[in-house]
Amino acid sequence: MATVSGRGVSTGRAQADVTSGRNSADVSQREDLANFITMITREETPFMSSIGKTKATAIYHEWQTDELAAPGNSRLTEGADFGTDISPITGPHRTRLGNYTQINGKAIAVSGTRRAVDQAGVADEYAYQLKKRGTELRRDVEFDLVQSYNVASGSGTRTMGGVQSFINDDATCAYVGDFEAPATAGAGSATVTANGANARSALSLSDIDSVMQKIYEEGGKASRIMVSPKLRRDFSDLMVTDSGVRRNIDTDGKLRQSVDVYMSDFGDLMVVPNYIMGLSNSVDFGAGAVDVADFAALIYDPQWFNVATLRPLTEVDVGQKGDSTVGMMVEETTLEVRNPKGCGAIYGLV
């Protein structure tokens, strides 16, 4: 609001100075604005950072899995003839799996004025936005892997199948509450279906032990359990509610609340929180939309996963468009699940 003085009407600068924290009477006082910008948003990609990398050479990236025959009788009679006592191999037992590459990108446009003005904490607005969009892109890929519940699709905008599109059957998974296994398993199928009121249940150690046993019986050995922040706290609480173990107080009087490693009957599990698995996301599993925040726990061995890259992350310099500098960040990748039976999950958690 303008003020009136004996010399006329002011321009309102005094009021602006008050709101910015400076003394309105001291118009010469410089702003005390720190020359940095803080970013509070998390930028980690826990799942993607835990797995390997490989190269894709086509838009449909494929690989093969194989397994040994079930243990049984391999006895031979003395002097056995190969033609009578040994059965020939009638066909390969290998299975071919695949996933479509997905093009991920972020566009950047910065006006000439924005690049020219002297800004606190930013030397070049275009370079700053380039770095920011690159971090956002990594988070988007992590979301597609663990929280989108996408299935592989080669029509229209190509979509890579996420973790759940491979780890989604009774072989190595547990379904709690009213959630049950899909009718078909493997890449490209529905992840889970729901019935009834879509009721969900709390995480329990018995569910974890059950999945670990299934993975072990299939020949795998999981080493990590990845959960949302809420489920991470629930997991630590399970050590008291399910097992009766008391919290550990060390010699310095520190109370240890968290559980970092769970020693199950079928191997040790490192407990890893993933903030993206706690984000709200509505997914229709075939019986109505479900918010998949805190919905699943992934139990896996990182050695069975790779990010397969067809085109690495690249900055496409479009150049000037009118009075703006325009660019784009593009990559093309997919998820390779080398052997789905070596991993599992618990679905329907709350």
CB neighbour list of residue 321: distance below 8 Å, 6 or more residues apart: 109
CB 151 within 8 A of CB 296: no
Distances (CA, A) of 54 to 61, 102, 139, 215: 11, 15, 19, 24
pLDDT at 185: 36
**Mean pLDDT across the stretch 215-227?**
93
Residue with the larger pLDDT of the pair 253 and 117: 117
The beta-strand segments (E) located in 6-51 are: 8-9
Alpha carbon dihedral 18, 24, 27, 32, in 10-degree steps, equals -40
Topology of domain 47-55+94-347 in CATH is phage-related protein like fold (3.90.1690)
Q: pLDDT tens digits, residue range 175-198?
A: 887 776 654 333 334 456 655 555
Residue extents of the structural domains in the chain: 47-55+94-347
Least confident of 3-12, 225-234, 272-281: 3-12
Q: Is the pLDDT of residue 268 over 90?
A: yes
- Percent of the chain predicted with pLDDT > 70: 73
**Mean pLDDT across the stretch 304-331?**
89
**Mean pLDDT across the stretch 283-306?**
87
Across the chain, mean pLDDT equals 80
Q: pLDDT tens digits, residue range 137-146?
A: 999 999 999 9
Distances (CA, A) of 65 to 151, 166, 302: 19, 13, 16
Alpha carbon dihedral 230, 231, 237, 238, in 10-degree steps, equals 170
Count Cβ atoms within 10 A of the Cβ of residue 229 and give its class: 0-12 exposed, 13-18 middle, 19 or more buried. middle
Q: Is the pLDDT of residue 239 over 90?
A: no
**Mean pLDDT across the stretch 314-321?**
82
Q: pLDDT tens digits, residue range 68-109?
A: 878 888 777 787 776 655 566 665 678 899 999 999 999 988
Q: What is the CA radius of gyration of the chain?
A: 28
Q: Is the pLDDT of residue 9 over 50?
A: no
Q: Which two tokens stand for residue 269?
A: 């599990």
Count Cβ atoms within 10 A of the Cβ of residue 133 and give its class: 0-12 exposed, 13-18 middle, 19 or more buried. middle
DSSP 8-state assignment for residue 280? -
Residue with the larger pLDDT of the pair 263 and 30: 263
pLDDT at 228: 97
**Mean pLDDT across the stretch 204-220?**
92
